[in-house]
Structure 1
C-alpha cells in the first residue's frame, strides 16, 4: 500500500521510537528488579503508559529521557508493591558494568550495597554507571537541575563508599 501522505501517524512515530530504545529500557528496569520477567513486565507497563501519554502530546523532543523516567517510576512502583527481596541470578553479568578485575565477592558486595539504597537514590547510580549518562542527561531524565543531580550523586557515592569500605550497614 502506497501512502499518499508522507507524515507518520503518532502510533507509527511512537512505535519507531520505542523500538530503538527498548533494550536500554529493559536494562534500566533490570537494574532495579534483577529478574528478567519482572523487568519485561515493567517495560511493558511503562510502554503502555508512554503510549497513552504520547497520543496527547504535540511533540516529544526528549523521548529517550521521558521514557527512561517512566521506566524508573514504574520500577519504583513495582518494588513498593512487591516489597520483597530479589536475588541476583547467574546471568546478570551480561547486563553489568564492564569488568575491571573485581572479584565475585566484591561485585556481590557492590550489588548488595546498591540494593540497600532507596530506589530513588539507586536511579542516580544506574543512570550514571549502567547507562553511561552525563549529569546533564540525568538531570533531564529526573527533571532536576544539573547541580542538584551532582550533589545528590556524590552524596550517594559517599554512602556507598562507607558501606563498602567500612562495612557499615547504616541507614543508606
Structure 2
C-alpha cells in the first residue's frame, strides 16, 4: 500500500478519534491528524518501514499510537499563559447532534488528557487493555486503574441527568 492510499483511508478515523480526544475542538483535531500523518510519512519512507530497529507490522495501529501520544504531548507543551475558559467563543451550535452527544463531549473535555485518551481508546476505539498500555507506553495495570478512575469522574460530571438525556 502506498502512503497516499494509507493516509486517505485512515485520516477519517484518525480525525474522529482526535475530535473525541480534544473535546470537539476541530481545529486542534485537524492539527493532531496532520502531525500524525506527517510523522507517518517520515516512517513510511524508511527502508522496510523500520522504526527503532523493528518493522511496523500494523501501520494503522502505529498511526493511532502516534495520534494519542501527540495529543498527550500537546497538553504537556501548552503555554503557561493559556487559560481555559468556561465558554468558547464562536462555536457553532449543535446542528442535528443530540444533547446527549454534546453533554458527553463537554464532560470528556473536563477530564485530564491522559484519562480522556484511556477512555477513548478503551471504549470508543475498543482497544484492549494491553494494546492501550502499549500505545500510551505504560503498564496494563495503570490503564485499568486510570480507566476506572476516569469513568468514576465522568459519572460524577454527568450526574443523574444523563439518564434523562439518554431517554430522548
The normalised TM-score by structure 2 is 0.68
User: Structure 1: 5+ residue runs without aligned partners?
Assistant: 1-7, 94-102, 168-172
Q: Name the Cα RMSD after superposition.
A: 3.1
**Structure 1 contact 65–140 (Cα < 8 Å) conserved:** no
Q: Distance in 2 between matches of 1:161 and 1:88?
A: 26
Q: Distance in 2 between matches of 1:138 and 1:110?
A: 21
Task: Tell me what 2:135 maps to.
Answer: 141
Task: Tell me what 2:68 maps to.
Answer: 72
User: Structure 2: 5+ residue runs without aligned partners?
Assistant: 162-168
Higher alpha-carbon Rg: 1
**Structure 2 contact 68–135 (Cα < 8 Å) conserved:** no
**Structure 1 contact 114–160 (Cα < 8 Å) conserved:** yes
Alignment partner of 1:152 is 2:146: yes
The equivalent position to 1:24 in structure 2, one of 13, 27, 36, is: 13
Structure 1 residue 51: Cα displacement: 1.6
Q: 3-state SS of the aligned residue for 2:127?
A: coil
Q: Distance in 2 between matches of 1:50 and 1:109?
A: 33
The normalised TM-score by structure 1 is 0.66
